[in-house]
Amino acid sequence: MRKQLLATALCLAATATGCGATVEPAEDAKPSSSITLTNCGRQVTYDKVPERVVTNDVGITELMFALGLEDRMAGFAMPDDKGDLRGVPWKDGYDKVKWLSKDQLTKENVLDARADLVFAGWNYGFREDGGFTPDALKKLGIPSYILTESCHNGRTKSSRGIMPPLDALYTDLTNLGRLFGVQKRAAALIADFKKQVADVRAKAPKGSDRPSVFLYDSGQDTPFTSGRYAAPEQIITEAGGVNVMHDVADSWTTVGWESVVQRDPDVIVICDYGDVGAEQKKRFLLSYAPLRDVSAVKHRRIISLDYADLVESPRNPSAIARLGAYLRTVDS
């Protein structure tokens, strides 16, 4: 998404099974007829089980890996720093599947890969300005599946998000399970993810003790952050915090610094990725004069999570666990 750059991302050792390290053998119950799924509010019919899927970006790619679908992939597009994978249970997928581009998908590399499905999202590969859209691919005879976190919601031309972020994750796992005939595997992942989240929720602060949290992605003149339809919204909520931008009916979006100051977050979560790393972002936040009286800055309550933790991905539950542990140390 956005600049589509990643940095270090580690799954908790305790959540390795939940991240998809051990799953039952694939059912391989291949549909004998077409499959119709609801994707971004539209009924989409797929005539066959895809065999040469290409994906864009880390979260989308790892959804396929977590379901054990490497053998159904023809490649992925991703920046050249996908982070330290030692704690990622499905890290072997990166060795098995071809790396098509260190930028993003294009019509050319999709055609070269002989793709029979493109799995991407709006601003996670699909883009109007470059003409790389599901409709454009359809004209080439190539079906698409759109990441649910990224669905356009119709509020504005570019606003995204149609359901709570974890529901989006579970929706995509369920749909992919049906499409590829691995429903039991998808259901097992979802059940395990829900248990991980419930365990964190049970320990989380309640009521007025819940610290307020601002997600800082990037930007100095204006900050790029998460409204209520991007993954950080529910990561923050389930971890025991309150997203100060919950009222923003969008996924990833730009706000003004004045709104951050006014809402006075107790904690700032940095999205760690790109050429400007977490430490540089933290130095900026601590030195930016308009933020000097913000509680998170005054008390230096700033934590970083990886990009791959904060976009829709199978890493979301472990991110909730790590953020939850941090928030339980905060006296709001």
Write down the pTM of the prediction.
0.87
Local confidence band at 1 (pLDDT 50, 70, 90 cut-offs): very low
CA atoms within 13 A on the CB side of 233: 23
With tokens 């920046």, the residue in question is 79
If DSSP states are collapsed to H, E and C, what string results for 246-267?
CCCCCCEEECCHHHHHHHCCCE
21 or 51, greater pLDDT: 51
- Exposure letters 143-156 (e unless 16+ CB within 10 A, then b): bbbbbbbbbbbeee
* Residues counted in the chain: 332
User: 275: phi > 0 → left, psi -120 to 50 → alpha, else beta; which?
Assistant: alpha
Residue 127: DSSP 8-state = B
pLDDT at 9: 37
Q: Give the integer Cα–Cα distance in Å for 12 and 32.
A: 39
Average pLDDT over residues 79-96: 84
pLDDT at 80: 80
Average pLDDT over residues 95-102: 96
Q: Give the integer Cα–Cα distance in Å for 102 and 27.
A: 33
pLDDT at 8: 34
pLDDT at 30: 53
Q: In sequence order, what are the beta bridge partners of 121?
A: 124, 125
With tokens 């859209």, the residue in question is 133
Average pLDDT over residues 126-147: 96
pLDDT of 238-256, one tens digit each? 999 999 999 999 999 999 9
Cα dist from 265 to 241, 279, 297, 315, 330, whole Å: 10, 19, 9, 25, 12
pLDDT of 4-35, one tens digit each? 433 333 333 333 334 443 444 445 545 557 99
pLDDT at 13: 33
Average pLDDT over residues 125-144: 95
pLDDT of 161-197, one tens digit each? 999 999 999 999 999 999 999 999 999 999 999 999 9
Which stretches within the chain are classed as H helix? 58-66, 93-96, 107-112, 134-139, 165-180, 183-203, 231-239, 257-263, 278-287, 295-298, 307-310, 316-327
Cα dist from 38 to 75, 91, 171, 189, whole Å: 25, 29, 9, 20
- Rounded to the nearest integer, the mean pLDDT of the chain is 90
Beta strands at 42-46 and 35-39: parallel, antiparallel or unpaired: antiparallel
pLDDT of 148-158, one tens digit each? 999 998 877 78
Query: Helices 316-327 and 183-203 sit at what angle, rounded to 10 degrees?
Result: 0
pLDDT of 268-305, one tens digit each? 999 999 889 999 999 999 999 999 999 999 999 999 99
16 or 315, greater pLDDT: 315
Q: Smallest Cα–Cα separation from 211: which of 239, 241, 249?
A: 241
Q: Does the pLDDT of residue 118 top 90, yes or no?
A: yes
pLDDT of 205-246, one tens digit each? 888 899 999 999 999 999 999 999 999 999 999 999 999 999
pLDDT at 32: 55
pLDDT at 320: 97
